[in-house]
Amino acid sequence: MDLYEHQARQLFEEYGILVPRAEVTDSAEEARGIARRLGGRVVVKAQVKTGGRGKAGGVRLAADPAAAELTARQILGMDIKGHRVGTVMLAQPVDIETEFYVSYVLDRAAGRFLAIASAEGGMEIEEVAAQRPEVVARVPVDPAEGVTSAKAQEIAAAAGLPPRTVDVLVRLWEVLVREDAVLVEVNPLVRTRQGRILALDGKVTLDDNAAFRQTRWGAEAETRADPLEASAVAKGLNYVGLDGEVGIIGNGAGLVMSTLDVVAGCGARPANFLDIGGGASARIMADGLSVVLADPAVKSVLVNVFGGITACDAVADGIVRALETVRLTKPLVVRLDGNNAARGRAILDARAHPLVEQATTMDGAARQAARLATAA
């Protein structure tokens, strides 16, 4: 479960990490009073669970309380990558000297955590990592040993961070461990002209398996979750939204992950992860298609199914019956393989829906879906 920035900020403060003074509101009128309490000049930040807020216009500087109210009014209700802005955080501006990037992320494949840090943080950290990977340090962290002062010094030295960040690195590790997080990120972590080290922005993702221990975030997560993910949860679907244009539906987490990789290799971006599991009834397919097609960024949909316990003809029948209740508005590429695949393909051929295409291989299906998405 992702936390909002103001929730991550709250955690940082609880663990002794310095953050600017800030308050959260869902009212433009209240934003004026908050700005007045914070000294007049404030940064108004959209609270959504996605990146790219700054480039989308969701982070703006307001010179005085009146401007803060106007800015909050403009940001509230914005759509940022499919996330509607329901609240804003107003924070005191900071006199920044240098920006850094620090994070801990779970490395599932290696069975450990990875510290990622750079002396060049800020909005363009992705470009920095892609163009100059040598300035981004990646230091493995043994979960049994954790981040001691010595380990934090190793991370800081590898990334070229100043010595005063060592204490922050230790405290961020405490956040990760004690709050059952799989990701803790600060971008930027800044040094002010007065020499203070502050966390200006934060991202924290909690382990869903530990939700029973992290109940304090539950109510807000339920009421303010991404609408597509909330809709998928209500339908019992395993869905994660991504920033792409090819909708993905598959049976089995491993197959879906492989499909995402193959689509990306064909020059397109996956729009989501959606695992329908072992079943592919008409209801499940209808629910899956309705969620994926509700994403306005989706230009094509790829259904990739390997028939095992659930045979491909049952999947095809589910797709056909789902098309009776779901209005298909984007091209749909279907790849069926495994148990009763030929029979399943015949069922789809007989339906002959004008927007449904078939492919016999995963690579071929991915190429078709990518071509259709980029041509749309």
- The residues annotated with a catalytic role in the active site are 101, 185
> With 0-12 CB in 10 A as exposed, 13-18 as middle and 19+ as buried, what is 351?
middle
Query: Please, how many CA atoms are within 13 Å of residue 216, restricted to the half-sphere of its CB?
Result: 6
Query: Please, how many CA atoms are within 13 Å of residue 84, restricted to the half-sphere of its CB?
Result: 10
Whole-number Å distance between alpha carbons of 118 and 137: 6
Q: What is the DSSP letter of 135?
A: G
Task: Report whether 160 contacts 166 (CB < 8 A).
Answer: no
Task: Report whether 104 contacts 141 (CB < 8 A).
Answer: yes
Q: What is the CA radius of gyration of the chain?
A: 23
Task: Report whether 180 contacts 164 (CB < 8 A).
Answer: no
List the structure tokens of 329.
């508005």
Task: Report whether 371 contacts 271 (CB < 8 A).
Answer: no
Task: Report whether 272 contacts 239 (CB < 8 A).
Answer: yes
Q: Sign of the CA dihedral 145, 149, 152, 158? A: negative
Beta-carbon contacts of 144 under 8 Å, excluding residues fewer than 6 positions away, are none
Residue 355: closest CA among 372, 337, 335, 374: 372
List the structure tokens of 51.
């990146």
Angle, CA 206 vertex, CA 200 and CA 208 arms, to 5°: 160
Helix 166-178 vs helix 5-14: crossing angle, to nearest 10: 110
Task: Report CA-CA distances (Å) from 32 to 6, 19, 156, 340.
Answer: 18, 21, 40, 64
